[in-house]
Structure 1
Amino acid sequence: MSNQFDVLWLNASQSLKGFDLPLLQYLSKHLLIARWEYYQTKDEASSIDTAVTMLYDFLKSHDRPVNLAGHGMSGAIALMFARRYPQRVRSLALLAVGSQPANTWHAHYYQQRTLLPLSREQVLLNNVGMLFGNQPPHTTQKLMAALDRDLDESPTLHSLLRLVNFPKGGVVMPMFVCGSKTDPVVSPPELYDWRHLLKSEDTLWECAKGYHFFHYFYPQQVGDQLLSFWQRFTQDSEPKTNIKTSQANTPSSDGTVRMGK
């Protein structure tokens, strides 16, 4: 991957990364965007620190600070990296990341497993509706499988034994924070809790709907907000459209998830 790009998008959820593609495809028409992926096998211990260290190894040879972005757990990793290596980050964009960064969909899953007498499959079914809204039965099954994989492969530190918290706080570089009015994970009150941490150059924006993956359902609306934010930090951009689209999930106008094969 060339080290010449305007924005570096992080992904730490292999089974859910297709939900980033509509937004990335839209953004790639306007600027140079690269995607960095972290893959954790089932035999590895979950570790945010490992992901942050590997991201540093990737960026340490980069000749300028980067605009860093990510959704959910990937955004939490971006936040941890920006706090630890502020000299490497020009700006930070967080999608569906609460003021308590550890409050991911995984935390909600384990809370339900702890409080409710439900099986893993039943809680995953509940989470499909919570994260994506009502979906056809065949799509629901595929989404349950994707969430099931993400529980095993995402570097979350949550488990049935305990839920963890990350340090709360902002960052020194300009920051863009966005969420959805219909997201039960990063709910509006938690999103608004960022307000007392924001600087004058920071932006807080809320999508009218779209659940937890609002950037999938409304890529242009989210993309325009991001572009407006990055316009202050990105210059001399040229379009780039080489993001892979095979096996992608594509949104539809009726709110139905279209799963790739």
Structure 2
Amino acid sequence: MAMVPNLLFVSGGAHWAAIDRPLLHRLAPCGRLAYWQYQAEADGEHSLEVALVLLHDYLKGLPQPVHLVGHGMGGVLAWYYAAAYPARVRSLALLAVGANPAVDWQAHYYHLRQLWPCAQAVALSQVARMLFAVSGSGFTSVLAEDLMWGVSLHSLWRRGRMSPPAFAGPIFVGVGGEDIVVAPPQWQRWRQALKPGDRFWICAEGRHFFHYEHAGAVAHQLAAFWHERDAAIARLPVPAPLAAG
């Protein structure tokens, strides 16, 4: 018998799987966790609207509402889905998502490309150093894949715009304390927009991909948020602090 999930991590594309994996591993004991990835067609339109249709095709087959969580554009996709189909969503957790949903790493990258007269590979390498606390050529490759295959509102010549959707259910917002994309001006907008009972959390030393580098802390916060609203979700122990050096 197939597992019926009560937790769903929404990903903006298969290329993010290695980045999401540490958090998925930590969240697995919480409940029945599933991982949904946007799969782009080579000759298709990589739009939010298309991604929403594909996500709904999956979720409409489930017999009960789920807790949605997503990072970056995956979080934006979960946010818009929750607003469109609130009866199918028990709660919404957004990681590194701006109160203005058009604020994402690609918008930051294209802005820097206009300022830096350099090749894409050089610019992506520089951006990767800003977005990740650890270094590695694999991060640059993942960012390049997202430019090619991910859902995006932006290009080198145009910046897309989006209005924040309204979701009446419980919301968790997690941001990185050292994130240059979802930066303090977006934090203030979130604090003004969130409802009583919603949760805003700062991962103090986290950059944009803090869910990769601080997966234990993120999982602990998410599990506590879900458990307060759903006793079927298990709490997680407080993670051990990162070793110095």
TM-score, scaled relative to structure 1: 0.85
Counterpart AA for 1:155:
V
Unaligned runs of 5+ in 1: 240-251, 256-261
Q: Which residue of 2 aligns with 1:196?
A: 192
Q: Distance in 1 between matches of 2:159 and 2:38?
A: 22
- In structure 2, the partner of 1:242 is none
Q: Which of 164, 167, 182 is 2:163 aligned to?
A: 167
Once the two structures are TM-superposed, the CA of residue 13 in structure 1 deviates from its matched residue by 2.5
Number of aligned residue pairs:
239
Question: Once the 2 structures are TM-superposed, how far is the Cα of residue 64 of structure 1 from its aligned partner?
Answer: 1.7
Match of residue 131 from structure 1: 131
Tell whether the 8 Å contact from 1:69 to 1:78 is kept in structure 2 after alignment.
Answer: yes
Instruction: Give, as a single letter, the amino acid of the residue that structure 1 aligns with 2:181.
Output: V
Closer, same or farther in 2 for the Cα pair 1:60/1:191, shift >3 Å? same
Q: 1:134 to 1:219 in 2, by over 3 A?
A: closer
Deviation at residue 233 of structure 1 after TM alignment: 3.0
Q: Deviations over 1:47-81 (max 9, x none)?
A: 10111111111111222211111000100000111
Greater Cα shift, 227-236 or 87-96: 227-236
Distance 1:8 1:110 in 2: 30
Q: 1:67 to 1:54 in 2, by over 3 A?
A: same
The CA deviation string for residues 86-109 of structure 1, in whole angstroms up to 9 with x for no partner, is 111110000000001121111111
- Judge conservation of contact 1:176–1:203 (CA < 8 Å) in 2: yes
Q: Unpaired segments of 5 or more residues in structure 2?
A: 236-241
1:22 partnered with 2:22: yes
Offset of residue 169 of structure 1: 4.7
Which letter maps to 1:159? S
> Secondary structure, in 3 states, of the residue corresponding to 2:67?
strand
1:11/1:37 contact within 8 Å kept: yes
Equivalent residue, structure 1, for 2:203? 207
Greater relative contact order: 1 or 2 (C-alpha under 8 angstroms, separation 6 or more)?
1
1:29, distance to aligned residue in structure 2 (A): 1.8
* Deviation of 1:158 (Å): 0.8
Runs of 4 or more above 2 Å deviation: 232-239, 252-255
Structure 2 CA distance for partners of 1:127 and 1:10, relative to 1, 3 Å: same
Distance (Å, rounded) in 1 between the aligned partners of 2:185 and 2:109? 20
Q: Which residue of 2 aligns with 1:120?
A: 120
Q: Which residue of 1 aligns with 2:107?
A: 107
Is the Cα–Cα contact under 8 Å of residues 170 and 197 in structure 1 kept in the other structure? Answer: no
Alpha-carbon contact 1:91-1:173 (below 8 Å) kept: yes
What corresponds to 1:74 in structure 2? 74
- Percent identity, aligned pairs only, is 38
Q: Which residue does 1:247 correspond to in 2?
A: none
Q: CA RMSD in A?
A: 2.0
In structure 1, the residue matched to 2:180 is 184
Aligned counterparts of 1:152 and 1:187: Cα–Cα separation in 2: 25
Change (3 A) 1:238 1:171: closer
* Cα distance between partner residues in 2 of 1:89 and 1:134: 34
Partner letter of residue 124 of structure 1? Answer: L
- Structure 2 letter corresponding to 1:78: A
